[in-house]
A = this chain, B = another copy of it.
Amino acid sequence: MLRNSVFSCFVFYAVLLVLKMYMLAFITGQLRLRKKAFANPEDAMRHGGPQFHRLDPDVERCRRAHRNDMENIFPFLFLGAIYSMTGPSLGVARLHFLVFTACRMLHSVAYLAALPAPTRSLAYVLAQVPCVSMALQILAAVATYA
């Protein structure tokens, strides 16, 4: 399958997005240490005492960004892989993957930097366009097998 150039193109952007998600997890961890705000008492005990078992708005913001990624990037990993098997042209397919990747990168930046609304929402909606497009093209390709 990696000799299929559309699939390999998809894989490239998909792995970048997975690494971006790992980056969010890393930032969450760093924020927890810097702001001394831990989700578990045993972590707080190791880093100063039970009073640091607490919420922090910056940590929560990062976790919301991460959750939104799960809601959107994980379905992309599925849709992009299947869409690549439906025989789209490389140019059209790459456009789908590029728009999604760029918008989700912007989404994370807009979330973490708390950019004024509706920057983040626009990035979210624009990223959905290639996803819904792929979903509909896949349905058209397999509808006879339902």
Contacts and interface: CB of A to CB of B under 8 A. Distances in A.
A85 B14 CA distance: 15
The binding surface of chain A is classed by DSSP as helix
Contact of A46 (B8, B14, B117): B117
Interface string A106-129: 000001001111101100000010
B117 A19 contact: no
Interface residues of A, number: 58
A123 to B, nearest CB: 13
Interface of A: 1-2, 5, 8-9, 11-16, 18-19, 21-22, 25, 29, 39-43, 45-47, 61, 64, 66, 70-72, 74-75, 77-79, 82, 85-86, 111, 114-118, 120-121, 128, 131-132, 135, 138-139, 141-143, 145-146
17 contacts: A2-B141, A8-B145, A11-B82, A12-B143, A15-B135, A15-B142, A16-B139, A18-B79, A22-B128, A40-B64, A41-B114, A42-B115, A42-B117, A42-B120, A46-B116, A46-B117, A70-B70
